[in-house]
């Protein structure tokens, strides 16, 4: 029951007359559940998390038990699901597709086992077939003489929807049953199971939808349901759906095994997919142990499950136990902690990641979901905020699966208050107050203060000191982290002011190591313009691009003053990279750091403009791929640019030659298909030597 509702269960049962407050509450619960059923089963747009639906359903069920006079045939407790969609042909199930009662905890499961033992009048441990409860859409498949003739949804349990053309598109559903020696195919066979969308398929589908500005699915279950209810089966065929069977509907003209588990194994022989996690156990203890084992595996499975189904394995005992109004007596489900819950979005804060990415984070009224209490959830980026239409004050659905960061997946618009506040992106970084930039076509906004932003400081300094940048030998990641954590350095510039005493007092860094590191820092002042540009960590400016910039502008002042038009004239610099460079050099913080680095003595040889005679590869395009043993790919690209070549990232008809190391892959194949010259590493080294570059070998 919701916390804001008064408890009604303390009232004495009165079979004749229920109080006005009880009648009002029952009517309210029916309306809520009917609305939720319609949203889930008809609109494919769930309005309530499963856990909230279960709470409301159980509350209504308890009230109807206490006040039987209020139980009516239109109650959601007397039906399995929603009505069939009007635009599909209706199908009547000859054997009703019932749902299952739930065991909310171990005690309820033990009660179920005791009840079964009592009904069967036995003290022997009951054998149960245990199966993961797949989170998808239940369907019925009808085969006549081994050929698929009909597929139907469960609908309300008695009547569903004809989705034959859609289920035929699912590869894991056999259109004709497999035949094997000694295995009789029944004249009529109805198989039941779950259509679901695996996690990888779901993630890929949503990513593609996000790129195309299309509707995203809330979760894999919603995706499976929406895919099966497409009027055009060609759309369904494009969705990554799978089917896993879990029970027999009916069979005519053939004898099946007398154990549920063996029936499913026979289904497997006929070509159906069954769940590999199934097991047969004995008694409540076996059921509990299975639950614990599968709970550990749950997050590693490639499909969503929301619990476990336990069924009495012996079919004869199933028949003896029979059914209650809406569920079999011989089966029960036990759910895992809910992965989705509703809570209040109290505020939004913006966090800065180590690469400068600005992420809106929802501050929530704490809620228990996925086995832990969650008070924060990611909103990913502002594009996602706008897609969700999330506002401060909204009631939102939170999803947490395993170790995945909790995320806001849906806004419950019906609960939006009038004073809900729109969420807007900050203008400046909340950490360093540098301006925030968002490149057209990208979803992520970023802080532009890479050299001074504390949130990015560690990664920026590690990059600055790396071998391909300033090459400060001995300044490893652990030392950088210690220096930053102890507030000894705040930027690149502070590296050059470090004292021996400061370094020698660091953990694992003695007197000799401190001396060597100081010497390495001093030696790094002698560098090249290309390495210096690369060390600054400008987005998308790698080793080769830095070399191209150096070769083009010759000195740093010209580069800093360059406008957009000048930048895009440089090989390997397109519109996006040009904007990143402009943004970086326009930031006052970055200018101050660069000036400081130059003032403390960082320098490089003057670059003379080369004549065309000194650029023998001018006008030629090379591509470098694979693993080079004598030099890295970045160094190979630098040598090529020094000789005037343009280095591209992909092979095309305009490519002059491909430098191919070991494991060259698809680029090598494409070059061969296009009859592009291919140079292995020895041939490439000979090319460099022929143009005066000797130290490559």
Is the distance from CB of 375 to CB of 427 less than 8 angstroms? no
Is the distance from CB of 645 to CB of 626 less than 8 angstroms? no
C-alpha span between 189 and 140 (Å, rounded): 10
Query: Which strand (E) or helix (H) includes residue 367?
Result: strand 357-369
Strand partners, 160: 91
Is the distance from CB of 143 to CB of 191 less than 8 angstroms? yes
CA dihedral 425, 428, 433, 438 (to 10 degrees): 100
Which 8-state DSSP code applies to residue 176? B
Q: What 3-state DSSP class applies to 627? A: strand
Query: Which strand (E) or helix (H) includes residue 351?
Result: strand 340-352
Which 8-state DSSP code applies to residue 570? S
> What is the full DSSP assignment across 185-210?
PPSEEEEEEEEE--HHHHHHHHHHHH
Q: What 3-state DSSP class applies to 394? A: coil
Number of Cβ atoms within 10 Å of the Cβ of 321: 18
- Measure Cα distances from 262 to 128, 259, 309 in Å: 12, 5, 16
C-alpha span between 307 and 135 (Å, rounded): 9
Is the distance from CB of 200 to CB of 220 less than 8 angstroms? no
Is the distance from CB of 539 to CB of 574 less than 8 angstroms? no
C-alpha span between 14 and 21 (Å, rounded): 13
C-alpha span between 94 and 99 (Å, rounded): 16
Neighbouring C-alpha atoms within 13 Å toward the C-beta of 273: 15
Number of Cβ atoms within 10 Å of the Cβ of 147: 12
SS (H, E, C) 10-50: CCCCCCCCCCHHHHHHHHHHHHHHHHHHHHHHHCCCCCCCH
Q: What 3-state DSSP class applies to 498? A: coil
Neighbouring C-alpha atoms within 13 Å toward the C-beta of 34: 9
Q: Which of 98, 157, 131 has its CA nearest to residue 323?
A: 98
Q: Which of 335, 326, 396 has its CA nearest to residue 360?
A: 396
Parallel/antiparallel/unpaired status of strands 305-312 and 279-282: unpaired
Parallel/antiparallel/unpaired status of strands 391-392 and 646-648: unpaired
Burial class (CB in 10 A: 0-12, 13-18, 19+), 171: exposed
C-alpha span between 218 and 176 (Å, rounded): 34
Q: State both tokens at 293.
A: 């084992």
C-alpha span between 519 and 540 (Å, rounded): 31
Which position among 133, 637, 646, 667 bears the catalytic label?
133
Is the distance from CB of 338 to CB of 313 less than 8 angstroms? no
Q: Which of 347, 368, 301 has its CA nearest to residue 131?
A: 301
Q: Which of 272, 267, 268, 273 has its CA nearest to residue 254?
A: 267
Give catalytic status of residue 121 as yes or no: no
C-alpha span between 87 and 233 (Å, rounded): 14
Looking at the annotation, which residues are catalytic?
133
């Amino acid at each position: 029951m919701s916390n804001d509702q008064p408890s009604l269960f303390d009232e004495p049962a009165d079979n004749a007359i229920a109080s006005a407050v009880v009648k009002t509450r029952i009517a309210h619960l029916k309306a809520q559940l009917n609305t939720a059923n319609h949203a889930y089963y008809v609109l494919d747009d769930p309005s309530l998390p499963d856990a909230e639906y279960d709470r409301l359903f159980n509350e209504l069920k308890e009230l109807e038990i206490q006040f039987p006079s209020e139980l009516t045939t239109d109650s959601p407790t007397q039906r399995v699901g929603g009505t069939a969609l009007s635009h599909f042909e209706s199908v009547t199930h000859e054997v009703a597709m019932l749902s299952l009662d739930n065991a909310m905890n171990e005690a309820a499961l033990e009660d179920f086992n005791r009840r079964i033992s009592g009904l069967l009048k036995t003290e022997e441990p009951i054998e149960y077939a245990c199966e993961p409860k797949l989170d998808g859409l239940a369907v019925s498949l009808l085969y006549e003489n081994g050929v698929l003739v009909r597929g139907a949804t469960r609908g309300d349990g008695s009547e569903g929807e004809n989705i034959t053309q859609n289920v035929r598109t699912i590869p894991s559903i056999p259109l004709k049953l497999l035949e094997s020696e000694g295995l009789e195919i029944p004249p009529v066979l109805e198989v039941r199971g779950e259509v679901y969308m695996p996690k990888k398929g779901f993630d890929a589908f949503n990513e593609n939808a996000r790129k195309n500005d299309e509707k995203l699915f809330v979760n894999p279950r919603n995706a499976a349901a929406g895919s099966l209810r497409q009027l055009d089966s060609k759309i369904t065929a494009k969705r990554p759906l799978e089917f896993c069977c879990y029970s027999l509907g009916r069979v005519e003209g053939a004898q099946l095994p007398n154990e549920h588990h063996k029936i499913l194994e026979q289904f497997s022989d006929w070509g159906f997919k069954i769940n590999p996690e199934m097991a047969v156990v004995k008694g409540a203890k076996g059921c509990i142990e299975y639950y614990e084992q599968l709970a550990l595996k749950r997050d590693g499975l490639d499909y969503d499950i929301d619990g476990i189904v336990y069924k009495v394995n012996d079919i004869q005992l199933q028949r003896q136990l029979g059914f209650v109004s809406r569920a079999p007596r011989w089966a029960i489900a036990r759910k895992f902690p809910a992965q989705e819950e509703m809570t209040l979005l109290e505020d939004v804060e913006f966090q800065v990641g180590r690469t400068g990415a600005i992420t809106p984070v929802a501050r929530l009224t704490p809620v228990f979901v996925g086995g832990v209490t969650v008070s924060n959830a990611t909103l990913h980026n502002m594009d996602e905020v706008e897609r969700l239409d999330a506002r401060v004050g909204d009631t939102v659905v939170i999803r947490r699966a395993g170790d995945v960061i909790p995320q806001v997946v849906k806004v419950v618009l019906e609960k939006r208050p009038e004073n809900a506040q729109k969420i807007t992106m900050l203008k400046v970084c909340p950490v360093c107050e540098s301006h925030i930039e968002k490149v057209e076509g990208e979803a992520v906004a970023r802080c532009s203060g890479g050299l001074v932003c504390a949130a990015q400081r560690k990664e920026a300094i590690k990059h600055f000191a790396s071998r391909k940048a300033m090459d400060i030998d001995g300044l490893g990641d652990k030392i950088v982290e210690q220096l930053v954590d102890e507030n000894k350095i705040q930027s690149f510039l502070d590296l050059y002011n470090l004292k021996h005493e400061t370094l020698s007092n660091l953990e694992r860094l003695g007197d000799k190591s401190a001396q060597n590191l100081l010497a390495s820092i001093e030696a790094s002042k002698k560098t090249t313009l290309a390495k210096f540009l690369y060390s600054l960590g400008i987005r998308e400016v790698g080793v080769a691009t830095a070399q191209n910039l150096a070769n083009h502008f010759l000195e740093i002042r010209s580069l800093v003053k360059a406008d957009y038009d000048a930048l895009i004239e440089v090989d390997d610099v397109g519109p996006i990279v040009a904007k990143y460079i402009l943004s970086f050099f326009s930031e006052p913080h970055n200018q101050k750091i660069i000036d400081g680095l130059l003032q403390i003595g960082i320098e490089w040889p003057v670059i003379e403009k080369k004549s065309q005679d000194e650029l023998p590869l001018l006008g030629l395009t090379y591509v470098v791929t694979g693993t080079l043993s004598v030099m890295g790919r970045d160094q190979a690209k630098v040598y090529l640019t020094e000789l005037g070549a343009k280095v591209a990232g992909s092979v095309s008809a305009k490519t002059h030659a491909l430098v191919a190391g070991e494991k060259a892959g698809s680029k090598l194949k494409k070059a061969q298909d296009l009859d592009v010259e291919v140079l292995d590493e020895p041939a490439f080294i000979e090319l460099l030597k022929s143009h005066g570059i000797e130290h490559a070998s």
